Structure 1
Amino acid sequence: MDRIFISTGEKVFYNDKECIIIKILNISTVTIEEVQTNIIHTVRLDELKPFYPNQTIYLESLPEKDWERAKSRYEVISPILSNRGNLDLITKTAKENNISVPTIYRWLKLFDETGLVSSLAGGKKTGGIGKSRLTKNQEEIINNKINTVYLNQSRKSITKLIREIQLECDNLKITCPHPNTIRSRVKALSDEEKIRKRLGIKEARYKFEPLKGHYEDAQYPLSIIQIDHTLLDITLVDGLDRRPYKRPWLTVALDVYSRMVVGIYLSFESPGTLGTGMCVANSILPKEMWLAKHNITADWPCWGIMDTIHVDNAKEFHGNMLKKACQNYGITLQYRPVATPHWGGHIERLMGTFAREIHNLPGTTFSSVAERKQYESEKNSSFTLDELEKWLLVFITKIYHQRKHSSIGMSPIEKYKNGILGNNNILGRGISPRINDHRSTKLDFMPYFERSVQEYGIVIDHIYYYADVLRQYIHSSDKKEINKYIFKRDPRDISVVYFLEPKSNTYYDIPYRNSSYPPLSIWEYRDILRDLKDSSEQVTEEKIFEAYRELNYLEMKNRKRTIKTRNIRKDDSLVRTDVVSFESEDEEKDIIETILPFEDLDDETFIRKN
């Protein structure tokens, strides 16, 4: 998982050139300096690439014994993560677990580089190869000087610390540790410890003590995220012929500290671990690509791994895949205690806000029969799934985030930025590391299938998939059992599945074996499958796509009867378009074959005068 750490002094790549961050201007912009030329640039964070890219470690590729080893190592270092300056705690932890202090620092470094618990799997001890070989005297000198020189209000620099250690080692006639070793020890200290001992307890309280309020545990942005689902009160239309289809499900992630929406997931799938996982992944990832896909120009500076996720006790939140993915990212998953209805109040109020706004949209079903009265939801439905997603993103980024929130006394985005960058009252937690690998992050939160590879490829839900990368695994087996391999898929497009190639630990795209088949979403596929089962026909791949083609034909044929009235200005006069009638089947066929989606029609397409 490639992560960019946003702090002064960090190395990054910009336009394939090595640079150093020299100043943080705001939550989305920094000043950098090219190492070779000393040229200064002011750039957006999304223009940067990590200087130290890391190989992604996919959790599902780890043997269970390696995963258990990684978890046990994480349990050792987890108390130290927020208290790295407590050298006595580190020494005590090392002694209690019968490991060396350098080993603890090595595990901390591994975890910091990736942010994944799986990075701690590693191998067993190898007799010290690749490990620190500091003597007991060297360790004592480093620990003593960090406390007496660096961690005090004289605020000595790291360079001064290194010189002090060098002098002490010279006085004792022992070899001095390398300066990089000393820098690594300082970097491993917690921010809280540095601020408390170098700037004072008062400054540390501003940043690290709980803020008093209605939800005291949310101390800073991304400390607590609440996630919940709702069935939206609106009927959407099909993306092809815009006929009424069904109501969508919305999954939302809310930052409790600032009330910012950090991620959403919209689909026709009922709540499950996949939708929840996709919402978590969307919350962790930067949003620029998502907004650009919908041609939205807006500020949505939410990214980074949250500390804790609060969810209710619905079964979709208890899936093993979701639990393991959160564990791997160091995220604590907490479930709503019994008989505590106020516990998820923030996210529920946000859902109410969305509901009220959606009741103003065409196609709303309202929340009750009394409200709906004579309103015909299906007849008035107008939004496709993608169009509603764009509407939601615009509402979230340009309205909800910008207007004053009564509970916090300011807009969510102002509260969020203050929590990140600080103000006169608080120091701010700093900008979270950015994860650039969208594909790997989303794959991490998708459930997986296990399939053996046959001469035809693989089969998932009656659909065949194949690519050359599978060839070497055809009929791969040992004497005991056929090997099964890991595959994942995106519910919005099941025309491709993702194969975790075991040798390279890389996911490869595996398309339909029959490339003539059209892309399908999982809900379109299940609708077709249900219809086939209801008709008692044998379910085969051919039958599935025959049914899909038949649906397409019926949709296009019916569309001629429902071309909506459009007022068009042409030659400075208005021409009214009405329902089209065709004089022959050939004329009907010609028109249908050239019909475009409504958003692609221009003002002079298919004008028919009465």
Structure 2
Amino acid sequence: MSDELSYQIERTPINLTVGNYVKFESEHFKISELIDFDQIIGISTSDGRAKLLRIKELSPIEENSSPSDTVDLQHISDPDWQVAQKRYSIIKTLLEFPQYGRHEVTKIAEQHDINTATLYRWIKRFNTSGNIISLVPKKRGVQSGDWRIEHEKESLIQEVIQDYYLTKQKVTVQATVDEVKRICHLRNIEPPSPSTVRKRILAIPEKESLWRRGQKEKAKNKFTPTAGQFPNADYPLAVVQIDHTPADIILVDDEHRLPLGRPWITLAMDINTRMVVGYFLSFDPPSETSLSMCVSHMVIPKEDWLILHNVNADWPVWGFPRTIHVDNGADFRSNNFKKSCATYGINLEFRPVKTPRYGGHVERLLGTLLKEIHKLPGTTFSSIKDRDEYDSDKNAALTKSEFEEWLVNLICRVYHQKEHTSLGMSPIKKWEIGIFGSNNEPGIGMPPRHNDKQKLMLDFLPVIYRTVQSSGIQIDKIFYYSEALRPWINAEDPVTNKKRKFIFRRDPRDISVLWFFDPELKQYFRIPYADQSLPGMSLWELEIAKKKLKEQGNTSANEAQILNALTYMREIINEASQKTKKARRQRQKQTEYAKKLEPTNPLKSKIPIKTSDSAALVLLDNIDSFTDIS
């Protein structure tokens, strides 16, 4: 993360649609034409002159920012969050289409008993901010655009729908109306009108209604895609699949060039164009962190990433997808990841169990990449039979940095450029047509571009709640303190009169720093160790140290004991780095974490990446065609 002491949250992206306003240096321009992925033509609002502008040098206009952009996700109350989600579900149908007219807007407004102007207002708010937080109700007075019943009633209706209507009992709509009325009577709440309850039920997606009400076969027959197709993947970033796999190659450490083990690849693929839109490479097994890093890499522009990895190619991909399609792994199901996706209007879909056709696209791409990896020195191949007498450890030659350079070259200069059988063109060509259009089909336009790439990570980092004591806060028996915490020492919650809990976010790869969200200043503050002399470490190092102490019978170790154990372990690892693969892997992890290399901050790496002659990328010349991917 950043070394800044504090900063405000800023989620407002740069809207790159024709007719929108952007800022270049201190001047405002109206976008008149999109030239390519690098340039636009803007008309100055001060003197009317046209100017060619580089997209990477643009920034959003501050007036377009919403006050809600400065709120941490966890500070939004459940009722407000439900209202925002309901509003998003109403405008979502319109957002999913590149073009829509007043007729479509009026139709949706009438279906939900909402004024057409209100619906346009919601759409404008979401398109400006790029996130669902802009749809959270304002606090002062009754705002136009709120549901026409109080939040308490809305919450009650949703509760009854979820727990009573959407069940295998298949109760009728009228029975649901009566149940809402009954519970309102018990809680001394004025019941909503029957038509209001019916409209909420009609707003439920048919697929969800069939599935939850015990009609799974009917839902499967109606909504299951045929082989080779994927539902609703009609344009770029409509549906992105993400999956993990261990790479079939042994990598070596940076210092001794001795074997470490196999890295994990987390890959994101756009279904419509087959473009790789993001990835993350790590020696750690899949986790919420690797998933968050992959999504962050997908969303941000990649010019700096290409410079970092010495790749002379284009990768003109950025923006949030409408849907992320994943398997049922625990990392995909974390509440923090779900809410982070919902914030940016991402529909998170899970692959139905025992339905391999739903994950075929990204899995086939990963399989094809693994075949190319089998040509590299140190490959493990895909089976013992294929490996035969090949000694993977003995032949291992590439470091993680060198392998990553090879991988990025493979993606950008080979895979994206070769014709794809099912597309009839290359993925990059399909992407360009999808964005800018062609003679036969309109494009969707360039996705909003997030200017503050680094701060985006905070929405996806794990959340921890703590009270603030006079000594600061304690997490995993480690103390943290900063003057930013002083105003909140022993603060009470104004509602419960108990000690108030605050939001902290932590990057598991570097737990020497926390990020504290000040609820009044609407800023994040960097909170370091209370003892500044302590060494930095990752969460996995801390867990290993605690495990070692537990094995020694110490189940209540304090901070000093944990850190002493960590120091001792590092000394052992340093001494054994040329002896065992496990020790070298742990040391390499320390090296990787020390670089603080992130998709959102690639050019601020604290340790420069060097490419060895042994990792020569002439291997790219032997890449086979990717036409077998469907």
Fold agreement, TM-score > 0.5:
yes
Give the structure 1 partner of residue 240 of structure 2: 225
- CA distance 1:59–1:597, shift in 2 (3 Å): closer
- CA distance 1:491–1:296, shift in 2 (3 Å): farther
Q: Quick one: distance in 2 between partners of 1:557 and 1:598?
A: 24
- Unpaired segments ≥5 residues, structure 1: 132-209, 563-595, 603-610
Amino acid of the structure 1 residue aligned with 2:12? D
The alpha carbon displacement at 1:226 in A equals 0.9
Q: Is the 8 A contact 1:94 1:101 kept in 2?
A: yes
| Structure 1 residue 542 corresponds to structure 2 residue 560 | yes
Amino acid of the structure 2 residue aligned with 1:525? L
Q: Is the 8 A contact 1:241 1:555 kept in 2?
A: no
| Structure 1 residue 69 corresponds to structure 2 residue 83 | yes
Q: Is the 8 A contact 2:130 2:448 kept in 1?
A: no
| Structure 1 residue 506 corresponds to structure 2 residue 518 | no
Q: Is the 8 A contact 1:240 1:597 kept in 2?
A: no
Give the structure 2 partner of residue 481 of structure 1: 498
Q: Is the 8 A contact 2:420 2:426 kept in 1?
A: yes
From 330, 355, 358, the equivalent of 1:340 is 355
Classify the secondary structure of the residue corresponding to 2:337: helix
The alpha carbon displacement at 1:92 in A equals 6.1
Amino acid of the structure 1 residue aligned with 2:548? D
For 1:349-498, what aligned pairs fall within 5 Å after superposition? Answer: 349-478=364-493, 480-498=497-515
The alpha carbon displacement at 1:356 in A equals 1.8
Amino acid of the structure 2 residue aligned with 1:231? P
Give the structure 2 partner of residue 518 of structure 1: 535
The alpha carbon displacement at 1:66 in A equals 1.6
Give the structure 1 partner of residue 195 of structure 2: none
Give the structure 2 partner of residue 60 of structure 1: 74
The alpha carbon displacement at 1:124 in A equals 5.5
- CA distance 1:125–1:63, shift in 2 (3 Å): same
Classify the secondary structure of the residue corresponding to 1:225: strand
- Unpaired segments ≥5 residues, structure 2: 1-10, 147-224, 581-606, 614-630
The alpha carbon displacement at 1:454 in A equals 1.8
Give the structure 1 partner of residue 60 of structure 2: 50
The alpha carbon displacement at 1:387 in A equals 4.4
Q: Quick one: distance in 1 between partners of 2:439 and 2:105?
A: 34
Amino acid of the structure 2 residue aligned with 1:71? Q
The alpha carbon displacement at 1:262 in A equals 0.4
- CA distance 1:477–1:386, shift in 2 (3 Å): farther
| Structure 1 residue 23 corresponds to structure 2 residue 33 | yes
The alpha carbon displacement at 1:48 in A equals 0.9
Q: Is the 8 A contact 2:137 2:143 kept in 1?
A: no
From 10, 16, 28, the equivalent of 2:20 is 10
Residues 381-431 of structure 1, C-alpha deviation per residue, up to 9 Å, x if partnerless?
Answer: 454544443432232222221222233232211111121112232222211
- CA distance 1:332–1:450, shift in 2 (3 Å): same
Q: Quick one: distance in 1 between partners of 2:558 and 2:503?
A: 23
Give the structure 1 partner of residue 218 of structure 2: none
Q: Is the 8 A contact 1:264 1:283 kept in 2?
A: yes
Q: Is the 8 A contact 2:401 2:609 kept in 1?
A: no
Q: Quick one: distance in 2 between partners of 1:405 and 1:256?
A: 12
Amino acid of the structure 2 residue aligned with 1:27? F
Q: TM-score when scaled to structure 1?
A: 0.72
Q: Is the 8 A contact 1:33 1:39 kept in 2?
A: yes
Q: Quick one: distance in 2 between partners of 1:361 and 1:521?
A: 30
Q: Is the 8 A contact 2:252 2:261 kept in 1?
A: yes
For 1:580-599, what aligned pairs fall within 5 Å after superposition? Answer: 599=610
- CA distance 1:448–1:366, shift in 2 (3 Å): same
The alpha carbon displacement at 1:490 in A equals 1.9
Q: Quick one: distance in 2 between partners of 1:311 and 1:549?
A: 39
Q: Quick one: distance in 1 between partners of 2:373 and 2:294?
A: 20
Higher-Rg member (1/2): 1
For 1:179-190, what aligned pairs fall within 5 Å after superposition? Answer: none
Q: Quick one: distance in 2 between partners of 1:509 and 1:120?
A: 29
Classify the secondary structure of the residue corresponding to 1:432: coil
- CA distance 1:496–1:346, shift in 2 (3 Å): same
Identity over the aligned pairs, expressed in percent?
41
- CA distance 1:259–1:86, shift in 2 (3 Å): closer
Classify the secondary structure of the residue corresponding to 1:19: strand
Q: Is the 8 A contact 2:256 2:578 kept in 1?
A: no
Residues 348-387 of structure 1, C-alpha deviation per residue, up to 9 Å, x if partnerless?
Answer: 1111122122233344333222233444444554545444
The alpha carbon displacement at 1:256 in A equals 0.8
Classify the secondary structure of the residue corresponding to 1:403: coil
Q: Quick one: distance in 1 between partners of 2:101 and 2:440?
A: 27
Q: Quick one: distance in 2 between partners of 1:373 and 1:96?
A: 65
Q: Quick one: distance in 2 between partners of 1:324 and 1:536?
A: 40
Amino acid of the structure 2 residue aligned with 1:51? I
The alpha carbon displacement at 1:57 in A equals 3.6
Amino acid of the structure 2 residue aligned with 1:331? I
Larger RCO of the pair (alpha carbons < 8 Å, separation 6+): 2
- CA distance 1:129–1:344, shift in 2 (3 Å): closer
Classify the secondary structure of the residue corresponding to 2:417: coil
Amino acid of the structure 1 residue aligned with 2:271? V
Residues 15-74 of structure 1, C-alpha deviation per residue, up to 9 Å, x if partnerless?
Answer: 232223232111222223444355554333111111245234432121222212212222
Q: Quick one: distance in 2 between partners of 1:533 and 1:36?
A: 68
Q: Quick one: distance in 2 between partners of 1:436 and 1:59?
A: 19
Classify the secondary structure of the residue corresponding to 2:506: strand
Classify the secondary structure of the residue corresponding to 1:317: coil
Q: Quick one: distance in 1 between partners of 2:313 and 2:20?
A: 27
- CA distance 1:459–1:371, shift in 2 (3 Å): farther
Q: Quick one: distance in 2 between partners of 1:327 and 1:222?
A: 15
Q: Quick one: distance in 2 between partners of 1:474 and 1:439?
A: 29
Classify the secondary structure of the residue corresponding to 2:370: helix
- CA distance 1:501–1:294, shift in 2 (3 Å): farther
Q: Quick one: distance in 1 between partners of 2:41 and 2:489?
A: 52
Amino acid of the structure 2 residue aligned with 1:78? K
Q: Is the 8 A contact 1:528 1:547 kept in 2?
A: yes
| Structure 1 residue 329 corresponds to structure 2 residue 344 | yes
Give the structure 2 partner of residue 586 of structure 1: none
Classify the secondary structure of the residue corresponding to 2:35: strand
Q: Quick one: distance in 1 between partners of 2:479 and 2:250?
A: 33
Q: TM-score when scaled to structure 2?
A: 0.70
Amino acid of the structure 1 residue aligned with 2:449? R
For 1:292-331, what aligned pairs fall within 5 Å after superposition? Answer: 292-331=307-346
Q: Quick one: distance in 1 between partners of 2:442 and 2:32?
A: 19
From 39, 43, 46, the equivalent of 1:36 is 46
For 1:595-606, what aligned pairs fall within 5 Å after superposition? Answer: 599=610
